[in-house]
Amino acid sequence: MSRARTARRIAAGAAYGGGGLGLVGVAAVGLVLAEVQFAKKTVGTGQGNPPRADGLYGSDFGGPTAGPGCPGPGPLRLAMLGDSTAAGLGVHRARQTPAALLASGLAAVAERPVELRNVALSGAMSDDLDRQVGLLLDGDGDGDGYGYGVGAAPDVCVIMIGANDVTRRMPPTQSVRHLTSAVRRLRLAGCEVVVGTCPDLGTIEPVYQPLRWLARRVSRQLAAAQTIGVVALGARTISMGDLLGPEFAANPREMFGPDSYHPSAEGYATAAMAILPTVCAALALWPESDRLDVARNEDMLPVAKAASAAAGQAGTEVTAARGPWALLKHRRRRRVPEESPAPTPAEA
């Protein structure tokens, strides 16, 4: 069965309440479980908590709020949701996390301050997204430091999720259902949404065949199904794939952190470079339009085929076009600056 057809079935099952689709043959289960146990013993997990990067970025571009005495518009509001990769597990400085890198890059492109809130949780699966969305849309009435205040939803949200769904064997239809539910809530609140789809787990060094082949296959099927589900809601996706292609294949020691599973600081910077253009495009800040650029091997395809193609080529954006069609984009990457957040009033 083709990846596009499988992804359509998963997305349809998620939309209409179908059960989980088995992606692994019964005969392979014993061997796969043995490989999984070996990989768990080999891949390190003692990383501690990721650094907290919440705060105001690009404060030189203007005041914290718009109004009398504060020139220019108020800050853009950026939120990060998802799992340990979204949280930035594996680095030691807040400015090295993907959320901080995106906030710095967005501030530089928009020439406006960016207020960042990161509610991602290490170890989270897609069923935790409902809680994370609640923190953003319903908090900060309780002073927990997560939300933006009553009636102040994020301007753009970035979600990175899916790896734990695969490793913990969450049924893919259930995984996509939780993701689309979260995206729907954010879109109804007026947020632009960018989803970094499930990464290619076949790139992890301690994982051997046949688990490597199987992990790659299942990861890409889930990534394609995630794309079909969220593009229909007006979100954009960016394929994380093998965490952005040849860089990781050529320099795995530099791109992966000490546990050989999570990205290093350089790996997160590479991921942020690919996500930033799509975040800016969602806010109409990127100089490239949402039109087809044949010179960059872009295409207009049915959504399922676009999702399948993106899953196999990391760094590819998929956005809705007309009717059942989607635009496959390969935007130019830009190096994002590292910047420490401005202190909050309480910290000052």
pLDDT per residue as tens digits for the range 155-189: 999 999 998 888 888 888 999 999 999 999 999 99
d(CA 164, CA 126): 8
Split at pLDDT 50, 70, 90, the class of 348 is very low
**Shortest CA distance to 107 belongs to which of 119, 115, 96, 95?**
115
* pLDDT tens per residue, range 257-269: 555 556 677 878 8
Query: What is the DSSP annotation of 32-76?
Result: HHHHHHHHHHHS-----PPPP--EEE-GGGS-SS-BTTB-S---E
* pLDDT tens per residue, range 262-292: 667 787 888 888 899 999 999 999 776 777 7
Q: What is the pTM of this model?
A: 0.82
Report residue 144 as tokens: 């927990």
CATH number of 3-16+30-329: 3.40.50.1110
Name the one residue in this structure whose structure tokens are 């994982």. 207
The helix (H) or strand (E) run that includes residue 342 is none
pLDDT of amino acid 68: 45
pLDDT of amino acid 86: 92
Query: What is the DSSP annotation of 176-194?
Result: HHHHHHHHHHHHHTT-EEE
Percentage of residues of the chain with pLDDT beyond 70: 64
Catalytic (active site) residue 84: yes
Active-site residue identified among 54, 83, 84, 155: 84
Active-site residue identified among 155, 178, 262, 308: 262
Active-site residue identified among 259, 290, 293, 299: 259
Confirm if 7 and 224 have CB atoms less than 8 A apart.
yes
* pLDDT tens per residue, range 230-248: 999 999 999 987 654 455 5
DSSP code, position 140: T
* pLDDT tens per residue, range 30-75: 455 455 555 555 554 555 688 899 999 998 886 545 444 555 568 9
Catalytic (active site) residue 290: no
Distances (CA, A) of 116 to 65, 75, 78, 258, 270: 14, 10, 5, 27, 20
> Where do the domains of the chain lie?
3-16+30-329
* pLDDT tens per residue, range 64-82: 454 445 555 689 999 999 9
- Kindly tell me if the per-residue pLDDT of 142 is higher than 50: no
Work out the mean pLDDT of the chain and round it to a whole number: 77
Count of C-beta atoms within a 10 Å radius of residue 327: 21
Catalytic (active site) residue 142: no
* 39 vs 147 pLDDT, higher one: 147
